[in-house]
Chain A
Amino acid sequence: MTAVTSPVGATTPGFFKRLWDRWPVKVAIIVIIVLWLIPTIGLLVNSFRVKSITEAEGWWTVFSKPFEFSQWTFDHYASVLNARGFGNAFLNSLAVSIPATVIPITMAAFAAYAFSWMEFRGRQILFVIVVGLLVVPLQMALIPLLKLYTSGEFFGIATPFPHPLNGTYMAVWLAHTGFGLPLAVYLLRNYIGSLPSSIIESARIDGATHFQIFVRLILPLSVPALASFAIFQFLWVWNDFLVALVFLGGTPDVKVLTQALADLNGAYGQFEHVLPAAAFITMALPLAVFFSLQRYFVRGLTAGSVKG
């Protein structure tokens, strides 16, 4: 943070610029990183430690005796990975998460484009309502939607809504799509709406249709925004327990990863000591997704499009 103030009123930009480029930035980054890592390191240490030691002493004591090998164990990881139906649950989580990420992004991108660059009545008010829906707590939606899914009941009236939808992947995809859409529309509208209007106007003059502009211009230019939302939506769906439990059920064939891990914990918490290991195993894929999407956070996508 001290780095911010140092270059003020720099009379010799070369020197201060170099200073700025070097250590203050790195020190600030390292301080934040260390603060953020401390809790996770505790989790990591305990995920590899023998149960009795975890319960008896603090995780930081490990740094005074890292080579005391009797305290280390891979058992927690082994028992999580060998949990009944783990592989199946992993695949189920994928089958839920991938479409439940792609469907809302697609819908939101189209909607965001319309909200930014198309003319229709009620555009502003509809957009405000969409964003306002962000505040609806997921938990309040579960019961009415469950009734709709199981009996087609809408405001207490039977409708021909195709039921029973409950217990299918589609039920969960649609629910996650609904819950993820407001934020997706909001974030993407902010990004797509801020693209230079000259790009869109010149494409219109050249005779491109809205669909062509959307596919050939807007989507490629919005990749950083799409990638960031994709990461979060994937994360929420991947880590979700409640929505999957309510709309998919917990039967062995459709069980998702979070459910498999919750079962591990059992009713009496007798497996509590494997939870740190379980947490790291569930974290692995979202982190891999985050890393692989990093290359889309690039600068200069709109380079050359702004005149002057």
Chain B
Amino acid sequence: MTEPQGTGTTLERRPDELPEGVGARVGLGALRILAAVAVPLLAFIVLWMTFEWLRDADANRGVIVLVAVLVGVVGVFTLYWAMDFMVNRLPARFRESIRPWVFVGPALVILAIFLAYPAINTIYLSFLDARSEGFIGLENYGFVFTDSGMLRAIRNTLGWIIIVPSISVAVGLGFAVLVDKLRRGEAVAKSIIFLPMAVSFVGASIVWSFIYDFKIFGSQTGLLNGIWAGIGNEPVAWLSQEPFNNLLLMVIMVWLQTGFAMVILSAAIKSVPEEIIEAARIDGASEFQVFWRVVMPSIASTLVVVMTTMVITVLKVFDIVWVLTNGETGTEVIAERMIRWFFRNSHNGRGAAIAVVLFLAIIPVMAINVRRFKAEEQIR
């Protein structure tokens, strides 16, 4: 119970203890770290106490949900406010150099624990053997770049990250632009493209089995074979047709992910100031020109963001392949190999090494982003 107050008093007492001059730098560093850690720590304690109380109170589910929502919605925000309040009480010369860490620190702390730590752990495991017991150097990496399944996976993944994001973004952008011109029904139209995103993973695999299904006997239950047989052909086991089956799997991903591109790009299109577009129209620009010369430059940064996100999402895709073809008939992808080696074949080293390849694959994409940030900051 006393812990939250304890953290508070330390923070307020700190400035008085700080020595003037050189020592202040050390103190400043400590304060920055403290500012970053304090919010997650406080949040943690508050959540913990709430949880303890709920367990002791043996409250019913309705109350628990209500409290959980309150803590989530109000609690976290209040903590930031309290931290900012404390920073305002610091001596003026520290204030502005500590404040950014109150804003950015909590996110960094959470990320350090939940993503950076597992990532470093994975890199470490990639140099160990199957059971993470002995150091075997680069042997796992040798496997990654020589195993025939892995090489096919790398080839296929390359196809995935080129084809899926470009189609999804193109369709998503086109749809967002078109639907923006509707006077009515925009929400309904967007919901339909968004709908696949709401289909859970289990749902998506069933949905597409109703399209790609193949039966040796009896009438076909998959639409594709229904049409194919309808125009007088023998039914085909679509998902075993190499290399065509890779495209069929990509179609599913496009179907699922276009909603993401559409929603984000639609928000970006709507934030293009109306007066600029009107001005262009008054100057006699056609709708086509308005789109390419006014709207596109304004949403360029969002396009890069959506593209980057999609490439990363596609890099990590494994469940579609896992369920529909089990990674057989030449449909391996990198993430599917990773899961297979790490969890199914219980070879931690190889699984981790494949994951590290995923990390490395993102470097070119990040380089493009870095260049864009720098350019953006300069023109601001």
Residues of A in contact with B, size category: 35 or more
Shortest Cβ gap from A267 to chain B (Å): 15
The reply to whether the CB of B375 lies closer than 8 angstroms to some CB of chain A is: no
Known A94-B65, A130-B108: A39·B207 in contact at CB below 8 Å: yes
**Chain B window 257-279, contacts with chain A (Cβ cutoff 8 Å), 1 for yes, 0 for no:** 01010011011101111111000
Grouping DSSP codes into helix (H, G, I), strand (E, B) and loop, the B interface class, with mixed when no group exceeds half, is helix
Closest to A210 in B: B99
With a cutoff of 8 Å between Cβ atoms, the chain A residues found around residue B111 in the complex are 130, 133, 178, 181-182
Cβ–Cβ contact B271 & A302, under 8 A: yes
Q: Check A119–B100 contact: CB distance below 8 A.
A: yes
Question: B206 touches which one: A37, A170, A185, A276 (CB < 8 A)?
Answer: A276
| Chain B, range 172-186, C-beta contacts under 8 Å to A | 174-175, 178-179, 181-182, 186
Report the count of interface residues on B (CB-CB < 8 A). Answer: 127
Task: Find A279's partner among B191, B200, B352 (CB 8 Å cutoff).
Answer: B200
B274 close to A299 (CB less than 8 A): yes
A9 within 8 A of B: yes
Of A91, A193, A275, A299, which is within 8 A of B202 by CB? Answer: A275
Check B47 against A283 for contact (C-beta < 8 Å).
no
Residues of A within 8 A of B182 (CB): 25-26, 29
Given A58-B223, A182-B115, A29 and B104 contact (CB-CB distance below 8 Å): no
- B308: chain A residues within 8 A (beta carbon): 131, 186
A251-304 residues at the B interface, CB under 8 angstroms: 258, 261-262, 265, 275-276, 278-280, 282-283, 286-287, 290-291, 294, 297-303
Q: Are A33 and B100 interface neighbours, CB within 8 A?
A: no
Cβ contacts B101-122/A at 8 Å (1 or 0 each): 1111011101101111111111
Is the beta-carbon distance between B103 and A110 smaller than 8 angstroms?
yes
A85 to chain B, nearest CB (A): 10
Asked whether any CB of chain A lies closer than 8 Å to the CB of B145, the reply is no
Contact status A228-B192, CB under 8 Å: no
- A235 and B107 contact, CB distance less than 8 A: no
Chain B residues, Cβ within 8 Å of A108: 107
Interface of chain A residues 175 through 218 with chain B (CB within 8 A):
175, 177-179, 181-183, 185-187, 190-191, 193-194, 197, 209-211, 214
Closest B residue, CB atoms, query A87: B61
From 141 to 158 in chain A, residues with beta carbon under 8 angstroms from any chain B beta carbon are 141, 144-145, 148, 154-155
Q: With contacts A40-B199, A43-B210, A131-B366 known, is A56 near B301, CB below 8 A?
A: no
Contact A287 B195, beta carbon cutoff 8 Å: yes
A127 within 8 A of B: yes
Tell me whether A228 and B263 are in contact in the complex, defined as CB-CB below 8 angstroms, given that A32-B193, A57-B219, A190-B302 are known contacts: yes
A69 at the A/B interface (Cβ < 8 Å)?
Answer: no
Pairwise interchain contact B286-A9, C-beta atoms closer than 8 A: yes
A-B contact pairs, 6 of them (CB 8 A): A13-B281, A25-B181, A98-B69, A120-B100, A162-B48, A298-B270
Q: Which residues of B contact A (CB under 8 A)?
A: 43-44, 47-48, 51, 61-62, 64-65, 68-69, 71-73, 76-77, 80-81, 84, 88, 97, 99-104, 106-108, 110-111, 113-122, 124, 171, 174-175, 178-179, 181-182, 186-187, 189-203, 206-208, 210-211, 218-223, 226, 255, 258, 260, 263-264, 266-268, 270-276, 281, 284, 286-288, 291, 301-302, 305, 308-309, 312, 315-316, 335, 338-339, 342-343, 351-352, 355, 358-359, 361-362, 366, 369-370, 373-374, 376, 380
- A residues bordering B, Cβ < 8 Å? 1, 3-5, 7-10, 13, 16-17, 20-21, 25-26, 28-29, 32-33, 36-40, 42-43, 46, 54-60, 88, 91-92, 94-95, 98-103, 106-108, 110-111, 113-115, 118-120, 123-124, 126-141, 144-145, 148, 154-155, 162, 168-170, 173-175, 177-179, 181-183, 185-187, 190-191, 193-194, 197, 209-211, 214, 224-225, 227-228, 231-232, 235, 239, 241, 258, 261-262, 265, 275-276, 278-280, 282-283, 286-287, 290-291, 294, 297-303, 306
